Copies of this chain bind each other. A is one copy, B any other.
Amino acid sequence: MTVTRSNPSAARISASEIAQLVKGELIGDGDVLVSGFSGIKEADKNELTFLSNLKYEPLLLDTRAGVILVPRQILCPGKTLIRVDNPSLSFTQVVNFLLKDAPDHRPKGIHPTAVISPGAKLARGVAVGAHTVIEDGAVIGEGSVLYANCYVGHGAHLGKNCLIYPQVVLREKVAVGDRVIIHSGTVIGSDGFGYLPVDGKHMKIPQVGTVVIEDDVEIGANVTIDRARFDKTIIGEGTKIDNLVQIAHNVIIGKYCLVVAQSGIAGSTKLGDHVILAAQTGLVGHLEIGDGAVVAAQSGVSKSIKAGEQVFGSPAHPMQTALRNNAHIQRLDKYVEMIKDLKKRIEELEKK
């Protein structure tokens, strides 16, 4: 099998140009040229890399990378270093700079096989890939790109400069802001899971609300976000959602949250701003999660959480409590021995 090279850039940049770009301190040969970027173990002499975690400092000696972005205190004779405050951030800046001129393989224009209703409104600069379907009344903002095989339902709104990867479904009437990125297989606006018990059967409750995705949100692959029963399910500005996440009807997520892979939020729960849900967490419905709260991985949250609080466990408890309880559980064997020992000694005492 053939593996294509991961660094698509053909642009070249010298160490001194990089130092200037990231406002870093150059140590070594400023004329070294790099044309790609890679991890510290894998990089070759034509590539830029970085060291962000001091734990990995020993790797610095062995890297073949031409130029290395490092924290301010690092020295490594014989290597071309650029010292910066935040090597990871600076690396991203350089990567973005190099990619600026990389070939762009996104769809361009409207593919002739796309099926676009005459009643849909596409702003200028919109690109639509092959076989994508855009229904009547849909509105697509300037500069937005939809890859192949997507579906945009009746009356759905998509803002400016969005990037919608292949096979995304935006159901009818959902509203998506500007600069939103949605990855493949994601479904926005499926019906919420709502039934009423009637004579031992489940009667469907119409789900006639919608979903609002605010500006600068990114949503991973195969995510599901249900439309509200009525009103709106909302994903707040700048929030980032990882793959395979489930957001139920009427959930409201604040701004700049992170929802990591395979987490699920049940109906009508409300997250504040800057909340972090680690991977595989579950939140029951109708909770309030305060600003900046953090839920550790695999936790199951059944009570509201105050701003800034960290919780862990299933059922979740405040982090310190959960860690203490887990530590006790690890020592149960010892405690049981202690109890048995005490029992024996009491029996001894009682005999006397």
Q: Do A173 and B6 contact each other (CB < 8 Å), given the known contacts A220-B193, A282-B298, A345-B350?
A: yes
Tell me which of A10-18, A22-30, A69-77, A226-234 binds B.
Answer: A226-234
Counting chain B CB atoms within 10 Å of each CB, the highest count among A111, A339, A350 belongs to A339
Chain B residue numbers with a CB within 8 Å of A202 are: 238, 240, 256, 258
Is A159 in contact with chain B by the CB < 8 A criterion?
Answer: yes
Q: How far is the CB of A193 from chain B (nearest CB, A)?
A: 4
Q: Chain B's nearest CB lies how many Å from the CB of A70?
A: 17
The answer to whether A220 and B224 touch (CB under 8 A), given A148-B115, A297-B300, A338-B343, is: yes
* Other-chain residue from B95, B186, B246, B349 in contact with A262 (beta carbon distance below 8 A): B246
Tell me which residues across on chain B come within 8 A of A2, comparing CB atoms: 139, 157, 175
Is the pair A184, B184 in contact by a Cβ cutoff of 8 Å? no
Say yes or no for A133: interface residue by CB 8 A criterion: yes
**Residue among B4, B186, B230 making CB contact with A173, cutoff 8 Å:** B4
Chain B residues with Cβ under 8 A from A183's Cβ? 187, 190-191
Q: Return A226 CB to nearest CB of chain B, in Å.
A: 7
Chain B residues lying within 8 Å of A185, measured Cβ to Cβ, are 169, 185-187, 222, 224
- Name which of A113, A159, A250 has the most chain B CB atoms within 10 A of its CB: A113
A147 to B248, CA, bound (A): 22
Q: Which residue of B lies closest to A202 (CB)?
A: B240
Contact B206 A172 (CB under 8 A): no
| Chain A 162-191 interface mask (CB, 8 Å, partner B; 1/0) | 000111010111011110010111110011
Give bound CA distance, A131 to B190, whole Å: 20
**Are B149's CB and A222's CB within 8 A?**
no
Is residue A280 within 8 Å, beta carbon to beta carbon, of the partner chain?
Answer: yes
- Give me 13 other A-B pairs in contact (C-beta within 8 A), A89-B198, A92-B205 excluded: A4-B173, A6-B173, A6-B210, A8-B208, A92-B206, A190-B220, A200-B256, A221-B226, A246-B262, A264-B280, A329-B329, A335-B339, A346-B346
Interface residues of A (CB under 8 A from B): 1-4, 6-8, 37-39, 42, 86, 88-89, 92, 95-96, 99, 105, 111, 113, 115, 129-131, 133, 135-136, 139, 147-149, 151, 153-155, 157, 159, 165-167, 169, 171-173, 175-178, 181, 183-187, 190-191, 193, 195-196, 198, 200-206, 208-210, 212, 214-216, 218, 220-224, 226, 228, 230-232, 238, 240, 242-244, 246, 248, 250, 256, 258, 260-262, 264, 266, 274, 279-280, 282, 284, 297-298, 300, 302, 314-315, 317, 321, 324-326, 328-330, 332-333, 335-336, 338-339, 342-343, 345-346, 349-350
